[in-house]
């Protein structure tokens, strides 16, 4: 039975990945989830897997080399899937330090722990051991022209402290592959959306605010473009790259779904109005009048767009869920999980929100 060490599995994409993997492999795999549970980590995301015999949660910081080495010493880890990171651009603008610590130094700890556990000779590793580093398209910087795309060969040009820290971590992984022949892959994915996404990110924030009749903050002119992918398609891509991809290669993951932020907000408003039953008091609250243009994000990247040609051609990955369907699935999930939203938006979230949007 293959053993996975997943970092950051209590966050948005990590928890969706764990659900995806158990749905796909059931009892054929074992997953150890290591997460320190920052504001973004939530064990509620994993309620339906927590009692499985083939699932273990370890609360630990990826920067804590002793704790991470102990997990490798006590378990024969076959796959590492490394999600754990500070992930929000706006937070990185206010407080870059923790981004460098977790995203750069934490990745270094993970690389060293896996290398020490797996290396059996000089640059020779135990058979069938693989490390996958989950990264972002934001490392490539900002596209200014229509028709331009991010390819795996596009030079890195990060602008935010978040993307700079992710770029640094990618370079560390690349350096381990080049120097030590360390068995790894990197994936650079576009913006994700779906169940369990923390409402500091655009899509869940807009859904949550609209349902309460709160203003919908749009940065700048609202015409910045992001390339949105349903989170389960990302999970599928990660698994396919790890099992079918060529070692030492980078794969971009994205579904050609570029939209301006203002379009996203309008689609959410229209979809909420369509999905809310007549008589539901929230239906009266949801309105385009809530759209409020606010100060632009500092250093706001204009446009992201992934060219997924390589992952399609080499591995056969294509997304299953188009945006029209994915946004409905996401909204339906938030309707069914009002308590989840209430729990994550109480306490510290209120402080963050007041400070961010004052």
**Residues in contact with 214: Cβ distance below 8 Å, sequence separation at least 6, in sequence order:** 290
Phi/psi-derived region of residue 256, left when phi > 0, alpha when psi is between -120 and 50, beta in every other case: left
Q: Pick the stretch among 189-197, 205-213, 326-334, 338-346 that binds ligand NAD (CB under 6 A).
A: 189-197
Give residues 52-81 in contact with ligand TYD (rule: CB under 6 A). none
Nearest to residue 82, comparing CAs of 118, 109, 119? 109
Kindly state the number of chain residues that form the binding site for ligand TYD, as judged by CB under 6 A: 12
Residues contacting ligand NAD: total by CB under 6 A:
31
Largest CA distance in the chain: 69
- Give the span between the Cα atoms of 45 and 16, in whole angstroms: 8
83 binds, among ligand NAD, ligand TYD, none (CB under 5 to 8 A by kind): ligand NAD
- Identify whether 162 is a catalytic site residue: yes
Does residue 213 contact residue 262 with C-beta atoms inside 8 Å? no
Residue 180 a catalytic site member? no
Among 12, 125, 131, 176, binds ligand NAD (CB under 6 A): 12
| Alpha helices per DSSP H over 218-322 | 231-244, 261-275, 281-285, 309-315
- Please confirm, yes or no, whether 157 is among the known catalytic residues: no
Interface residue with ligand NAD among 41, 158, 183, 194 (CB under 6 A) is 41
Output DSSP code: residue 21.
Answer: H
Which residue from 40, 89, 143, 341 is in contact with ligand TYD, where contact means CB under 6 A? Answer: 89
Beta bridge partners of 31: 4, 55
Q: Which is nearer to ligand NAD, 38 or 287 (CB)?
A: 38
Residue among 116 and 292 whose Cβ is closer to ligand TYD: 292
Site of interaction with ligand NAD (CB under 6 A): 7-8, 10-14, 35-38, 40-41, 61-63, 83-87, 102, 106, 134-136, 166, 189, 191-192, 198
């Amino acid at each position: 039975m293959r053993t996975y060490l997943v970092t950051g599995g209590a966050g948005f994409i990590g928890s969706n990945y764990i659900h995806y993997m158990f749905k796909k492999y059931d009892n054929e795999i074992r997953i150890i989830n290591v997460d320190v549970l920052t504001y973004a980590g939530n064990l509620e995301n994993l309620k339906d897997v927590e009692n499985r015999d083939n699932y273990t949660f370890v609360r630990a910081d990826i920067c804590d080399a002793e704790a991470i080495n102990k997990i490798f010493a006590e378990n024969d880890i076959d796959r590492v899937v490394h999600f754990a990171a500070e992930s929000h651009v706006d937070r990185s603008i206010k407080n870059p330090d923790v981004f460098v610590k977790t995203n750069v130094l934490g990745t270094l700890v993970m690389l060293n722990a896996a290398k020490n556990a797996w290396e059996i000779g000089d640059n020779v590793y135990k058979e069938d051991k693989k490390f996958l580093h989950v990264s972002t398209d934001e490392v490539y910087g900002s596209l200014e022209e229509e028709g331009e795309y991010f390819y795996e060969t596009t030079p890195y040009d990060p602008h935010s402290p978040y993307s700079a820290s992710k770029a640094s971590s990618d370079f560390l992984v690349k350096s381990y592959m080049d120097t030590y022949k360390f068995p790894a892959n990197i994936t650079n994915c576009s913006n994700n959306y779906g169940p369990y996404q923390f409402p500091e990110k655009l899509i869940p924030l807009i859904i949550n605010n609209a349902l309460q009749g709160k203003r919908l903050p749009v940065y700048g002119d609202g015409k910045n473009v992001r390339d949105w992918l349903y989170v389960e398609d990302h999970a599928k891509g990660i698994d396919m790259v790890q099992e079918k991809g060529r070692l030492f290669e980078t794969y971009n993951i994205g579904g050609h779904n570029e939209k301006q932020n203002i379009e996203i907000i309008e689609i959410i408003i229209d979809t909420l109005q369509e999905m809310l039953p007549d008589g539901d008091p929230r239906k009266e609250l949801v309105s385009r009048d809530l759209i409020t243009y606010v100060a632009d994000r500092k250093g706001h990247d204009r446009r992201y767009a992934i060219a997924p040609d390589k992952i399609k051609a080499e591995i056969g990955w294509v997304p299953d869920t188009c945006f029209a369907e994915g946004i409905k699935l996401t909204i339906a999930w938030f309707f069914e999980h009002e308590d989840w939203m209430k729990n994550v938006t109480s306490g510290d979230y209120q402080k963050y929100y007041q400070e961010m949007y004052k």
